[in-house]
Amino acid sequence: MRAIATNPREALDRGDALIIVDVQNDFCPGGALPIEQGDQVVPVLNKWLAAALSAQVPVYASRDWHPVGHLSFRGSGGRWPGHCLQDSPGAQFRADLNLPDSTIKVTKGVRFDQDQSSAFDQTGLAGHLRKQGIHRLWIGGLAQDVCVLATVLDARAAGFDVIVIRDATRGVTREGCMAADERMHEAGARFATTL
């Protein structure tokens, strides 16, 4: 899966959207569920955010927003330690992530009966993007082998052209990232790295 070196200021165009997946304090070093080097996606994403603002390309930022005792937490029989509790500091977007005021926030993981890894899972995002005339998505964020993967697969299933900004993602495990890349590629996603 070859990644094409891409200048964000030349890449973004009308009909595009930038989707940033879960770049929240709890997924970065020092957080409740830290992704190794998760904070290193921020400078890369800031380049894409600046380019999106300049090109008037809409920005969407998904966030986990879990209620206390969410079923995905180990204490409730789930896989993960408690993280991204609603209104907690850990659930906030990274302060050094330069989200423009126009950013549309996509809240997920709020259901009591299931987890929602994808920004498209019962959020209405696909329909909204279609109404806005969006057909191509540039996606980066955390974690590559969990929520980025789920978002990319759902975006492809919904018929969007998807480009994963590979240097703007980090994952839970190296093996998981390799498997995620394969699944995203098989689903028709393409890959870019940032110039």
- In Å, how far from its chain's centre is CA 169? 8
Mean pLDDT score, 187-191 = 98
Strand partners, 20: 61, 140
Task: Please name the residue that has the structure tokens 């980090």.
Answer: 170
Averaged pLDDT for residues 131-138: 98
Give the percent of the chain with pLDDT over 70. 100
pTM, two decimals, is 0.97
Buried b vs exposed e over 96-120: b needs ≥16 C-beta within 10 Å? ebbbeeebeebebbeeeeebbbbbb
- Could you tell me which CATH number the domain at 3-194 has? 3.40.50.850
2 falls in which pLDDT band (50, 70, 90)?
A: confident
Query: Following CA atoms 51, 92, 176, 137 in sequence, which dihedral angle do they give, to the nearest 10 degrees?
Result: -30
Number of other CB atoms surrounding residue 55 within 10 Å:
16
Kindly report, residue by residue over 84-115, the tens digit of the pLDDT: 999 999 999 999 999 999 999 999 999 999 99
Q: What is the pLDDT of residues 157-177, one digit of tens each?
A: 999 999 999 999 999 999 999
* Cα 174 to Cα 156: distance, rounded to the nearest angstrom: 23
Give the containing element (helix H, strand E) for 6. strand 3-6
Mean pLDDT over all residues of the chain?
97
Residues 30 and 19: their CA atoms lie apart, in Å, by 24
Under DSSP, is residue 126 helix (H, G, I), strand (E, B) or coil? Answer: helix
Q: What local confidence, expressed as pLDDT, does residue 194 receive?
A: 97
Q: Per-residue confidence at 183, pLDDT binned at 50, 70, 90?
A: very high
Active site residues: 22, 108, 147
**pLDDT, mean of residues 51-58:** 98
pLDDT over 90 (residue 1): no
